[in-house]
């Protein structure tokens, strides 16, 4: 009988201890939901199409920690300032070319860049050759971006279409990019950026 009482007493202590434990959030709880709702409100108010999207080499948990460290009021101010900064930054993405070339070898593999600000650029890697004093493209190896996180806004290349002109003097590129205006915040829809590179023409800059 004494053993039963002792066992009952132990169970009672364990039960009280369990009941005293704090209730933890469900593992499936979306801690970003209030921030997503706030971002949607800002989108509706300002006519923007922004969404959360973890950048390269950024984990979901890192993104969550960054934003949940802010109050909703701080987040609201932060995003509005980021939008204003991006709007002030936006410019006509033209295709004027500034020739940076000097004396070049007959055949070479080069990287040509579309430099749209002092930090960021999108690049293509190509082969060119000179015949009868005229430089033309001979091969296209791909495209990419320097994706410099920490400086916003910037364009993250997601896909592209590239074609040579018939005489192989021009490379026509249609870059599809997501614009990031703040850490892990980008436009919902991709932005097309059309750039024409010239064989031996060096890098390309936006129109003034």
In a domain, 3, yes or no: no
E strand or H helix that includes residue 102? none
Q: What is the pLDDT along the chain (208 residues), one digit of tens a residue?
A: 544 444 445 444 444 444 444 444 444 578 999 999 999 999 999 888 999 998 877 888 899 999 999 999 999 999 999 988 888 776 544 444 344 444 445 788 999 999 999 889 999 999 999 988 899 999 999 999 997 667 899 999 999 999 999 999 999 999 999 999 999 999 999 999 999 999 999 999 997 5
Q: Helix, strand, or coil here: 180? A: strand
DSSP H helical ranges for 50-91? 60-68, 72-89
Q: Mark whether 45 and 121 lie in a shared domain.
A: no
DSSP H or E run through 71:
none
- Domain-located, residue 27: no
Count of the separate structural domains present in the chain: 2
Do residue 177 and residue 151 come from a single domain?
yes
127 and 180: one domain? Answer: yes
CA gap 143, 163 in Å, rounded: 12
137 and 167 both lie in a single domain: yes
Residue 205 counted as domain residue:
no
Asked, for residue 43, whether it belongs to a domain, the answer is: yes
Identify the three-state secondary structure at position 14.
helix
Q: What is the pLDDT of residue 147?
A: 77
Pair (112, 191) in one structural domain:
yes
**Backbone angles phi and psi of 195, in degrees to 5:** -135, 135
Instruction: Give me the helix-helix angle, 33-46 and 72-89, nearest 10°.
Output: 40
Domain of residue 43, residue span: 33-89
């Amino acid at each position: 009988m004494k053993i039963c009482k002792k066992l009952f007493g132990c169970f009672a202590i364990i039960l009280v201890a369990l009941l005293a434990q704090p209730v933890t959030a469900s593992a499936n709880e979306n801690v970003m939901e209030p921030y997503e709702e706030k971002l949607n409100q800002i989108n509706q108010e300002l006519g923007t199409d922004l969404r959360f999207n973890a950048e390269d080499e950024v984990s979901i948990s890192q993104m969550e920690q960054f934003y949940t460290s802010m109050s909703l009021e701080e987040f609201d101010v932060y995003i509005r300032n980021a939008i204003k900064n991006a709007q002030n930054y936006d410019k006509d993405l033209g295709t004027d070319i500034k020739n940076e070339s000097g004396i070049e070898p007959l055949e070479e593999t080069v990287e040509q860049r579309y430099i749209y600000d002092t930090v960021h650029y999108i690049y293509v890697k190509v082969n060119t050759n000179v015949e009868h004093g005229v430089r033309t493209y001979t091969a296209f190896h791909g495209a990419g971006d320097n994706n410099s996180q920490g400086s916003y806004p910037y364009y993250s290349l997601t896909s592209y279409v590239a074609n040579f002109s018939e005489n192989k003097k021009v490379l026509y590129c249609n870059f599809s990019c997501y614009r990031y205006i703040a850490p892990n915040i980008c436009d919902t829809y991709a932005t097309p950026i059309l750039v024409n590179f010239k064989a031996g023409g060096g890098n390309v800059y936006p129109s003034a």
